[in-house]
C-alpha cells in the first residue's frame, strides 16, 4: 500500500534525522579512537574532530554556494534573458512561501538541476541548458518545485553538514595513517604491549574504513532527502505527474554532466555520472529513478507505466 503524501514526508524526515545524528556520533567516536591510538587521549581526539568539523563548517557556511556554482560553471540568469524560467522560479517560490532564489544556468547539453544555500534567504537554483530546452513548462515547474523543496526543507543545509562530516572523517583518517608511517620510520613508540597493539590495529582499520562508512551515511541521507523533495515538490505544484514525466526524460538522457564531481553529485536532482541509475546500493547517491517515478505516479493516482 502506498503511503500518503504527508506520510512520505514525515517518514523520510525522521529517517534523515536519525542518519544525521548517527553521522555526528560516528565522527566524534572516530576522533576518540584515533586519539587513544595515537597516544593523545580519547577526549583530545574528540576535540580535534570537533575543531576540524567546525573549520570546514565555517568555510561551507560562508562560501559553500559560491564554491558549488563555480565548480559547476554556472552563471546567473536575468529575467530579460529567460523570462519563462525566472517566472517559474518565482511561481514556485510563492507556492512554497519562500524568498525567490537567484537563478543560474549551466551551459551544457546534460539534463540536470540543483539547489544550494545555507538558508532560504541566500539560496540559488541552477538548471542546465539541456534540461531547460527539453522540458515542458509543467515539467520545469516540477523540477523547480523539487529544488525549492530542498531549500524549504533545509536539505541544502543538511547536505552541507553531511559533506563537512565526510570531509572531517577523511582528514582525521588521513592524518592518522600518515602519522603511523612517520612513527614506523622513527622507530615507533616504546612500550604498550599487546593491549596497545590491539588498539592500534583497531584504529588502523577504522581509519581505512571510516571514510567509506561516512560516505555511505551521506548517500543514505541524500537518498531520503530526494524522496522527501519529490513528495514536497508534488504538494507545491499539485501535479506529481509533471515531475514524474520530467524524471523519465532525465533518466533517459545520454549526456553526462562533466562539471560535476564526487563532492557535489548528491546535490543534483539525478546522479550526474550514472545517468540510468536504477539500482539501490549503499553507495548510490540517489534512489532509483524508476522507484521515484512509481511513487509520484501513485501520488497522482495514476498507474506507473510498465518498463519497456
Highest mean pLDDT among 80-94, 163-177, 196-210, 238-252: 80-94
Q: For residue 127, what pLDDT is reported?
A: 96
| Least confident piece of the model among 82-86, 112-116, 203-207 | 203-207
In a domain, 215, yes or no: yes
| Least confident piece of the model among 7-11, 97-101, 201-205 | 7-11
Q: Write down the pTM of the prediction.
A: 0.78
In a domain, 129, yes or no: yes
191: alpha, beta or left? (left if phi > 0; alpha if psi -120 to 50): left
In a domain, 152, yes or no: yes
In a domain, 173, yes or no: yes
- Assign 5 a pLDDT band (cuts: 50, 70, 90): low
In a domain, 91, yes or no: yes
More reliable by pLDDT, 215 or 74: 74
Q: For residue 131, what pLDDT is reported?
A: 95
| Least confident piece of the model among 39-43, 75-79, 183-187, 256-260 | 183-187
More reliable by pLDDT, 70 or 221: 70
Q: Which domain does 235 fall in, by range?
A: 5-300
In a domain, 305, yes or no: no
- Assign 13 a pLDDT band (cuts: 50, 70, 90): low
147 is catalytic: yes
More reliable by pLDDT, 278 or 301: 301
In a domain, 308, yes or no: no
In a domain, 306, yes or no: no
More reliable by pLDDT, 142 or 261: 142
- Assign 247 a pLDDT band (cuts: 50, 70, 90): very high
| Least confident piece of the model among 144-158, 215-229, 230-244 | 215-229
The residue from 81, 138, 147, 226 that is catalytic is 147
For the cut 90, the answer to whether the pLDDT of residue 98 exceeds it is yes
When the pLDDT of each residue in the chain is averaged and rounded to a whole number, the result is 82
For the cut 70, the answer to whether the pLDDT of residue 285 exceeds it is yes
Q: For residue 125, what pLDDT is reported?
A: 96
For the cut 50, the answer to whether the pLDDT of residue 306 exceeds it is no
Number of compact structural domains in the chain: 1
Contact 211, 166 (CB under 8 A): yes
- Assign 95 a pLDDT band (cuts: 50, 70, 90): very high
Amino acid at each position: 500500500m502506498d503511503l500518503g503524501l504527508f506520510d512520505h514526508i514525515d517518514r523520510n524526515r525522521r529517517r534523515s534525522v536519525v542518519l544525521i545524528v548517527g553521522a555526528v556520533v560516528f565522527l566524534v567516536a572516530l576522533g576518540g579512537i584515533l586519539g587513544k591510538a595515537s597516544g593523545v587521549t580519547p577526549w583530545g581526539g574528540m576535540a580535534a574532530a570537533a575543531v576540524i568539523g567546525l573549520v570546514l563548517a565555517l568555510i561551507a557556511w560562508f562560501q559553500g554556494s559560491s564554491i558549488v556554482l563555480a565548480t559547476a560553471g554556472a552563471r546567473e540568469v536575468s529575467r530579460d534573458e529567460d523570462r519563462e524560467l525566472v517566472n517559474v522560479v518565482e511561481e514556485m517560490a510563492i507556492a512554497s512561501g519562500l524568498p525567490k532564489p537567484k537563478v543560474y544556468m549551466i551551459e551544457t547539453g546534460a539534463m540536470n538541476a540543483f539547489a544550494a544555500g545555507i538558508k532560504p534567504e541566500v539560496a540559488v537554483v541552477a538548471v542546465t541548458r539541456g534540461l531547460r530546452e527539453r522540458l515542458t513548462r509543467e515539467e520545469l515547474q516540477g523540477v523547480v518545485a523539487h529544488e525549492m523543496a530542498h531549500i524549504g526543507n533545509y536539505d541544502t543545509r543538511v547536505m552541507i553538514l553531511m559533506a563537512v562530516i565526510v570531509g572531517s572523517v577523511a582528514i582525521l583518517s588521513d592524518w592518522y595513517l600518515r602519522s603511523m608511517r612517520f612513527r614506523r620510520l622513527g622507530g615507533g613508540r616504546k612500550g604498550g604491549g599487546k593491549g596497545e597493539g590491539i588498539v592500534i590495529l583497531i584504529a588502523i582499520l577504522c581509519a581505512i574504513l571510516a571514510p567509506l562508512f561516512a560516505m555511505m551515511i551521506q548517500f543514505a541521507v541524500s537518498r531520503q532527502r530526494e524522496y522527501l523533495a519529490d513528495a514536497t515538490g508534488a504538494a507545491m505544484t499539485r501535479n506529481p505527474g509533471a515531475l514524474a514525466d520530467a524524471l523519465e526524460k532525465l533518466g533517459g538522457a545520454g549526456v553526462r554532466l562533466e562539471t560535476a564531481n564526487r563532492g557535489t553529485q548528491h546535490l543534483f536532482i539525478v546522479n550526474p555520472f550514472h545517468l540510468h541509475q536504477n539500482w539501490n546500493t549503499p553507495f548510490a547517491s540517489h534512489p532509483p529513478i524508476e522507484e521515484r517515478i512509481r511513487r509520484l505516479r501513485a501520488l497522482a493516482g495514476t498507474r506507473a507505466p510498465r518498463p519497456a
